[in-house]
A and B are shown apart, each in its own frame.
Chain A
């Protein structure tokens, strides 16, 4: 048996449900946006870190070439020599490069050599 007020209660529940769904959608959109922002930030920091370490590496290489020409670099490099050893590319991203003022070459054992021109 229907009573007075039942329709109102049903309407309220439906509205509450819709409002809750809208709230969940809003949270989902916010969470997605937050994740995108976080990913962009992490990517920017990684790129900055890679560029700094690459620049430092290039500095050490040119310094070694100036002070000890034809010396072998005993430690492993963070970058990969490209363009006939005139540029140092990042291991993480090939688009990230640092120019070198001295050529570097790699031997069969994987050791890098710097040489003055």
Chain B
């Protein structure tokens, strides 16, 4: 009889212990750590996404600036071949940029002020039978 009572008490204690463990497991350190990890991963992926977007925008801006300086150099060469002067102020006004410079041989001219990124195109041209170095920058 005493043996039976002892077994019953033991089962009851086990059940209570299991319930307490379940309750404790619900608020365990592991669960809290998993939540922290989930939030941290989310923050990291968000930052990566934002960084990737900004990189794409910056890359497009760089491509645009590089192509603009290439076009500016062609425009300058075109004008030089016609023997026309290049008004850098009007170039700035036309392009909406803040800085433009032109180096042809030994001569150098610029307009505006360098504030941000400046994109340059260097090329060779033949002027009067002579090979001439030219650099057109815009920023």
Contact = CB atoms under 8 A, between A and B. Distances in A.
Interface stretch (B1-9, B68-76, B104-112, B122-130): B68-76
5 contacts: A33-B46, A55-B60, A63-B74, A98-B68, A101-B75
Contacts, number: 80
Interface residues of A, number: 32
A62 B75 contact: yes
Contact of A51 (B50, B60, B75, B96): B60
Nearest to B71: A62
A31 B78 CA distance: 55
A99 B78 CA distance: 17
Contacts of A54: 64
Do most interface residues of chain A lie in helix, strand or loop, or is the interface mixed? helix
A41 B50 contact: yes
A30 B56 CA distance: 25
A40 interface: yes
A41 B94 contact: no
B18 interface: no
Interface residues of B, number: 28
B74 A66 contact: yes
B63, B67, B71: most-surrounded residue (chain A CB, <10 A): B71
Contacts of B97: 99
B23 A40 contact: no
A16 B26 contact: yes
Contacts of B75: 62, 66, 101-102
A26 B54 CA distance: 27
A12 B23 contact: yes
B57 A44 contact: yes
Contact of A58 (B71, B78, B94): B71
A12 B64 CA distance: 62
